[in-house]
Amino acid sequence: MTTLLEPDELRRRSDSDSLAARNSILQPGDAIYVQIRRFDSSTGMSRFQPFEVPYQKWMRVLDVLNYVANHAAPDLAYCWFCGSKMCGTCAVRMNEREVLACWEAVEPIMTIEPLHNLPIVRDLVVDRAPYERKVISFEPWLERSKPYEGFPEPLSHRDMKNASKALDCISCMACYSACPVVRLGELTNFAGPAPLVQLAQTVLDPRNDQAKIARSLERTGIFNCVSCYKCEEVCPAKIPIVTHVIEPLKAKAAQLVPAMAQHAITFRAIVVRRGRIDPLELVLRLQRFRALLNVHRAVALLRRGKINPLVTIARIRSRAAQAATRILQTGKLR
Amino acid sequence: MMRYAYYPGCSAKSTCAELNHATHRVAASLELGLTELESATCTGARELRAIDPIGFYSLNLRILALAEQDQLPLLTVCNTCTLNLLDSNAAFQEDPSLARAVNKCLAAEGLCYKGTTRISHFLWVLLDEIGEDNLRRRVVNPLTDLSVAAFYGCHLTRPPIRYGFVDSRNNIAIEKLARVLGCKSIDYSGRMECCGFHTAAHNEAIAIKLTGKHIESAKVNGAKAMVTPCPLCHTVLDTLQREISKDVGKKLDMPIVHLPQLVGLAIGLSPEELRLDRHVVPTTPLKSYAYRPEKRR
């Protein structure tokens, strides 16, 4: 049920998101105080350099960077190309959030830094090679399992629903920078949101070969995603990354490489039988002998009534359990 | 009296039983009538919604249908459950074929969802439905000098598509509430960050690494306790704090309280009634803020 907006309301909403509206706290000529993180890779030294920039009507972060480069710091390194939210080269962190410099309104006081999670080349320029290597390792192309049957292919909008959302990606790396799990580095093998969006363009295309999809998914570490939605929050292309990319990819992995999805499959099995999650059963089934290493924690939880082994053993068939069994066992996954 | 169908979720029925208990006590004091949905299932957390979307929608819409049957709005106390229910409700409105399929499945129990259930997290009920002024009148024990750090968790603030009504980068609902309760809220690094719960069952290291610096930041900035509207965040911050502490190499000893427990203290309920003694990290520093009618502060 889509609600149609009245023309006035539509205008009000689009107006409130314009650069002019977001700039409305500033008057032409007002000083914008900006500090930019300067980084020199030859010395490895990083420092903040302050600048004062006069506000001009409808000013964007990119206009401030251009002003600084033209008037104060000709050696400032930053990237941009299209200036219109297409090329994805100008993403930076402004006041601790990832933005496209070409699309973000200025604020009276700004701290501008390079993106996180990628090596810095100089100042605001980052090296995208780690991202590109990950994407290449996924073999991001279509391989048909049967020969092309000719035009038109039997594809519906519904079949392509998620893949087509992923095709909106402009590879700006904002999500990659915002991801807290990528930030943990070597701790996990999580590929990160941006590479997964690239992967989804072909993996969620029904024409792709399933064995090849399984091979790609095995390299993603996708079940290390914490579902924090930081990627969706910053995506300038407004791709619903968690719901339309990561979750459909997880579903594919559960189907083609069940060993990856052991946690989710066990979780589901417990809900099917109990209706609710019994945390003790979940942990015992997932961690098995490793759980014994946490005897201290188990005792603490037991003493405070947070776990109850009797409930875990008893497996009472509550009304919730009956409902869950009936609803979920009609589904595909068993 | 405002009446709600109450959905505690799995955590408040097990590892965070104190949250369920405190919610009931606080609701009774604030004259909210709660009818617990006894036959409600899990909403599927992040696991079911990823690997079995149809099953996920069916379980969530069944919970909404149960509340609709009683003609009551649905009260939640868990971030992830709240988002799951809101997402399912939106999918129900947007996809008529999904709506038909789910209702066919629910018909076996004599249920049919029409799409009218309003979902409200306890935090929103306090601020928007009871309101700051009404709540302030109930505060008999202002928590003066108590500095708290709000840990919102993700699923009550993000994704923006679902929570257009809050600033996902600067939610201030708990800070507003803290002011009403008379306590100070501090600024620190973790307010809008993720606790890592959803990978903790198979990889605790992520949750431990994600939260250590935030608990430390709360401590450095003077918080005597952290307060969270989500039992899943609570589980990580409280139950894993020993391991988190070991990882950052410092004693943290940070009490983590559930939102209703903080409200309860301010409206005069005792720490025992609020089950503050059922946490893994001792909440002893909060004892001195308990209500003592004989010597009002």
Same domain, A140 and A248: yes
- A267 vs B47, B94, B168: nearest CB: B47
Beta-carbon separation of A268 and B42 below 8 A: no
Q: Measured between beta carbons, which residues in chain A are less than 8 angstroms from residue B198?
A: 225-227
Mean of the per-residue pLDDT values for chain A?
Answer: 91
Nearest CA in chain B to A179: B194
Task: Give B186→chain A minimum CA distance, Å.
Answer: 19
Token digits of residue A161: 């629903």
Q: Which residues pair with A110 in a beta bridge?
A: A34
d(CA B202, CA A246): 18
Beta-carbon separation of A232 and B160 below 8 A: yes
Same domain, A244 and A136: yes
Whether B51 contacts chain A with CB within 8 A: yes
With helix as H, strand as E and coil as C, how does A219-248 read? CCCHHHCCCCCHHHHHCCCCCCHHHHHHHH
Q: Measured between beta carbons, which residues in chain A are less than 8 angstroms from residue B63?
A: none
- ipTM for the predicted complex comes to 0.94
Residue A11 within any structural domain of the chain: no
Residue A289 within any structural domain of the chain: yes
Same domain, A109 and A138: no
Domain CATH for A75: 3.10.20.30
Same domain, A204 and A293: no
Residue A35 within any structural domain of the chain: yes
Same domain, A70 and A120: yes
Token digits of residue B39: 């036959």
Interface test with B, best of A104, A188, A268 (most B CBs within 10 A): A268
Residue A4 within any structural domain of the chain: no
Same domain, A117 and A169: no
Domain CATH for A140: 1.10.1060.10
Same domain, A30 and A122: yes
In this structure, the strands spanning A31-40 and A109-113 are parallel
What pLDDT was estimated at residue B167?
Answer: 82
With helix as H, strand as E and coil as C, how does B196-249 read? CHHHHCCCHHHHHHHHHHHHHHHHHCCCCEEEECCHHHHHHHHHCHHHHHHHHC
Q: Measured between beta carbons, which residues in chain B are less than 8 angstroms from residue A251?
A: 50-53
Same domain, A268 and A314: yes
pLDDT at A11 over 90: no
What pLDDT was estimated at residue A332?
Answer: 53
Task: Give B192→chain A minimum CA distance, Å.
Answer: 10
What pLDDT was estimated at residue A319?
Answer: 93
Q: Domain limits at A326?
A: 261-330
Whether B159 contacts chain A with CB within 8 A: yes
Q: Measured between beta carbons, which residues in chain A are less than 8 angstroms from residue B47?
A: 263-264, 267-268
B95-to-A1, A2, A248, B74 alpha-carbon distances in Å: 8, 10, 17, 22
Nearest CA in chain A to B277: A304
Nearest CA in chain A to B196: A226
With the C-alpha atoms ordered A104, A108, A112, A116, is the resulting torsion angle positive or negative?
negative
Residue A10 within any structural domain of the chain: no
Q: How many domains does chain A have?
A: 3
Residue ending a domain, among A207, A228, A256, is A256
Structural contact between residues B82 and B119, judged by C-beta atoms closer than 8 angstroms: yes
Phi-psi region of B280 (alpha: psi -120 to 50; beta: other; left: phi over 0): alpha
Query: Chains A and B: how many Cβ contacts under 8 Å?
Result: 180
- Give the pLDDT mean for A33-43: 92
Token digits of residue B235: 């589980």
Query: Residue A10 — very low, low, confident or very high, per pLDDT cuts 50/70/90?
Result: low
Between residues A13 and A28, which one has the greater pLDDT?
A28
d(CA B188, CA B151): 10
Residue A15 within any structural domain of the chain: no
Q: Measured between beta carbons, which residues in chain A are less than 8 angstroms from residue B206?
A: 181, 184, 187-188, 224, 226
What pLDDT was estimated at residue A331?
Answer: 56
Whether B12 contacts chain A with CB within 8 A: no
Structural contact between residues A100 and A174, judged by C-beta atoms closer than 8 angstroms: yes
Backbone angles phi, psi at B67, to 5 degrees: -70, -40
- A247 vs B38, B50, B242: nearest CB: B50
pLDDT at A333 over 70: no
Same domain, A178 and A267: no
CB atoms within 10 A of CB B71: 10
Residue ending a domain, among A200, A227, A256, is A256
pLDDT at A1 over 60: no
Structural contact between residues B60 and B74, judged by C-beta atoms closer than 8 angstroms: no
Nearest CA in chain B to A332: B52
Q: Where are the alpha helices (DSSP H) in chain A?
A: 7-16, 19-22, 61-71, 129-137, 161-166, 174-178, 193-203, 210-217, 230-234, 241, 247-256, 262-274, 279-287, 295-303, 309-314, 319-329
Q: Whole-prediction pTM value? A: 0.94
- A304 vs B13, B46, B280: nearest CB: B280
Same domain, A239 and A137: yes
Whether B49 contacts chain A with CB within 8 A: yes
Residue A285 within any structural domain of the chain: yes
Angle at B284 between CA B280 and CA B289, to 5 degrees: 130
Beta-carbon separation of B59 and A327 below 8 A: yes
CB atoms within 10 A of CB B36: 16
Residue A3 within any structural domain of the chain: no
Model pLDDT for residues B172-227, shown as the tens digit of each residue: 999 999 999 999 999 999 999 999 999 998 899 999 999 999 999 999 999 999 99
Token digits of residue B33: 């009538």
Beta-carbon separation of B59 and A324 below 8 A: yes
Same domain, A136 and A228: yes
Same domain, A98 and A34: yes
Positions of chain B with pLDDT under 70: 295-297
- A267 vs B16, B48, B54: nearest CB: B48
